[in-house]
Amino acid sequence: MEELEDHLHQLETSLPKELWMGAFPIFLYQNYWCPFRRLKPSILFQTQFEAFDTDIILASLPKTGTTWLKSLLYTIVNRNIYSDFNKHPLHSENAHKFVPHFEYTVYVNTSDETLPNLAKLSPPRLFATHITYFSLPKSIKSSKSRIIYVCRNPLDTFISSWHFYPQVDLHNNNEQDHNMIEEHFGMFCEGKFPFGPYDDHVLGYWKESVQNPNKLLFMEYEGLKEDPKAHVKKLAEFVGYPFSEQEENKGIIDDIIKLCSLESLKEMDVNKNGSYYGFFENKALFRKGEVGDWTNYLSPTIVKNFDQNILEKFKASGFSS
Ligand code: A3P
């Protein structure tokens, strides 16, 4: 334990540091910008987590649709246990409770001496992470556990973050300073935001999905919005819970989509009044959910360079979805 604390102290004093949105310290750790408070849990996750073949892990950058995917995943996998969607657990708890994040909850308030007993959880264990593919624990990569990655247009991701972060730590300050948007966007473009850079994060997972499609399912927020039925079917098949013909005929896919829609989740009492472990109010997780909302905030001139850079990097790596 002392060793870990010493190591952390050493990292804190030596790693490059930036301030995201003027308030949140982030450290460049293993080539991604790790929020200060996530450093210790991320290291514990990396060094202590033992994956099972039955595990399902959702990976994403923040603000790319994580809550949506968690809700869908949990509902799909548990649909035989919770078949009455009017009394579904999502009505009383946010999906983040059912699909816990390694670095936000699972390994928080623990040390290498008081690790959580994850072995007792019944399979399939559902977890989530924001860390890069490169930094995932070895046992996730070497086991037969499955990974789902959700990616979103970077500009919409930025705008979503820009609205979200002032509400973290229950600041309740919904009003962002519009004069600062270019400065924050500049940092985003340089990759200096929680778990950035964007391209490294997306391409790391995308490459693995190409090399190992049975291991990693690469999904896009925009695709899921455009054709939820096809994507939900694919997700269910990938995690080993395909829909039977009978289920399809009964309209269960539509019911799942409806239960997990932004409109439905937003109206649930737990999301109107609850909070995420005291960090922010659950309602901050549900805003507009629109594709292309960035055009309401960023001018084409501002995004031009970033767009070109990202496109070139993606093209050079052969990215196509
Ligand atoms: P906007 O801020 O653009 O509205 P995350 O869950 O990774 O934090 O992502 C949050 C983004 O996903 C927010 O985007 C939020 O509105 C959107 N979102 C949350 N639940 C959703 C759902 N069920 N369907 C579609 N989008 C959803």
State how far the alpha carbon of 269 is from the alpha carbons of 84, 173, 214, 272, 273, in Å. 18, 21, 37, 5, 6
In a domain, 11, yes or no: no
| Structural contact between residues 181 and 298, judged by C-beta atoms closer than 8 angstroms | yes
Domain ranges, residue 105: 38-160+196-316
In a domain, 321, yes or no: no
Ligand 1 close to Cβ of residue 262 (< 6 A)? yes
Strand partners, 28: 33
Ligand 1 close to Cβ of residue 288 (< 6 A)? yes
Q: How confident is the model at residue 109 (pLDDT cuts 50, 70, 90)?
A: confident
Q: Please tell me the number of Cα atoms within 13 Å of 37 on its side-chain side.
A: 10
Q: Which of 130, 163, 184, 231 is labelled catalytic?
A: 130
In a domain, 128, yes or no: yes
| Structural contact between residues 166 and 176, judged by C-beta atoms closer than 8 angstroms | yes
In a domain, 138, yes or no: yes
Helix (H, G, I), strand (E, B) or coil at 286: coil
In a domain, 22, yes or no: no
Q: Average pLDDT, whole number, for the chain?
A: 94
In a domain, 18, yes or no: no
In a domain, 25, yes or no: no
Pocket test for ligand 1, best of 63, 94, 222 (most atoms within 8 A of CB): 63
CATH number reported for the structural domain that contains residue 254 in this entry: 3.40.50.300
State how far the alpha carbon of 279 is from the alpha carbons of 34, 38, 291, 314, in Å. 17, 13, 27, 34
In a domain, 17, yes or no: no
DSSP code of 104? I
Is the whole-model pTM more than 0.90?
yes
**pLDDT tops 80 at residue 85:** yes
Question: Is 7 one of the catalytic residues?
Answer: no
Q: Does the bond joining 124 to the residue before it have cis omega, within 30 degrees of 0?
A: yes
Structure confidence by residue, pLDDT tens digits, 242-255:
999 999 999 999 99
Q: How confident is the model at residue 138 (pLDDT cuts 50, 70, 90)?
A: very high
Instruction: State which H helix or E strand residue 72 sits in.
Output: helix 66-77
Number of folded domains in the chain?
1
